[in-house]
């Protein structure tokens, strides 16, 4: 936390850390309040539940392809900024993506550590075979997250794909994102070398899918 707090306001994909303090027994911090999962910024403290990617998936099962790609682009940029500072997140998953004013942010920042730190944290199914704590491991976790939001399946089902996926309204561009996950996440030697590389690939795939969609709309 001490390493992350000074840079928490340096990127839109980071949760702002507002204060870090210590009591005789605890280290604590305060951060931006996430949107309510139903009411957005109309916060009712009594009934408040934070909006996370997990809560979105509970309501919708999977996300539209264009929304999935936008979210992936936002999170890869946030990871790129985090990794550039020698830090890794170590536990990327839907419940650790919160929304503030509708924008996705990396949360559970207390887990952020210097790259290569030798403590084991993470969640089953999101941790790569080689273990957490590296930029490459964060990329693996994000790939699993994208698989979930595109397919509506659990990360433990990876790389299984719904046989009906290609017939969905958003199937074409969604398949592009899944193909990206399959080819570039499963094996370490084929994984993206950086969050920046993953961002570039997702952006290119999104553009191609958008162009194909526009072309189809003009067909007689």
Active site members: 91
Q: Which two tokens stand for residue 77?
A: 């940029």
What gap in Å lies between CA 160 and CA 178, rounded to an integer? 10
C-alpha 212/C-alpha 122 separation (Å) is: 38
**Angstrom distance (rounded) from CA 165 to CA 170:** 8
Which residue, among 130, 133, 134, 135, has the nearest Cα to 186 in the 3D structure?
130
**Cis preceding-peptide flag for 159 (omega within 30 of 0):** yes
Give bridge partners of residue 20 from the DSSP assignment: 29
* Spatial contact of 135 and 115, defined as CB atoms under 8 Å apart: yes
**SS3 assignment for 91-130:** CCCHHHEEEECCEEEECCHHHCEECCCCCCCCCCCCCCCC
Alpha-carbon torsion (105, 120, 200, 170), positive or negative: negative
Comparing CA positions, the residue from 191, 152, 198 lying closest to residue 174 is: 152
């Amino acid at each position: 936390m001490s390493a992350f707090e000074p840079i928490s306001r340096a990127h839109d994909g980071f949760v702002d850390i507002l204060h870090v303090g210590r009591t005789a027994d605890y280290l604590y911090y305060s951060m931006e309040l996430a949107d309510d999962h139903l009411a957005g910024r109309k916060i009712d403290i009594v009934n408040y539940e934070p909006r996370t990617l997990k809560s979105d998936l509970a309501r919708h099962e999977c996300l539209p392809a264009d929304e999935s790609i936008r979210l992936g682009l936002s999170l890869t940029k946030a990871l790129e900024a985090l990794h550039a500072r020698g830090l890794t997140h170590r536990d990327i998953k839907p419940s650790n993506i919160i929304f503030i004013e509708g924008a996705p942010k990396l949360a559970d920042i207390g887990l952020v550590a210097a790259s290569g730190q030798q403590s084991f944290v993470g969640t089953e199914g999101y941790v790569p075979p080689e273990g957490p704590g590296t930029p490459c491991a964060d990329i693996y976790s994000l790939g699993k997250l994208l698989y979930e939001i595109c397919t509506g399946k659990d990360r433990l089902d990876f790389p299984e794909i719904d046989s009906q996926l290609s017939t969905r309204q958003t199937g074409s561009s969604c398949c592009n994102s899944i193909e990206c996950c399959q080819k570039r996440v499963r094996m370490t030697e084929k994984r993206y070398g950086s969050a920046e590389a993953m961002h570039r690939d997702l952006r290119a795939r999104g553009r191609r899918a958008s162009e194909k969609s526009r072309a189809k709309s003009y067909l007689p």
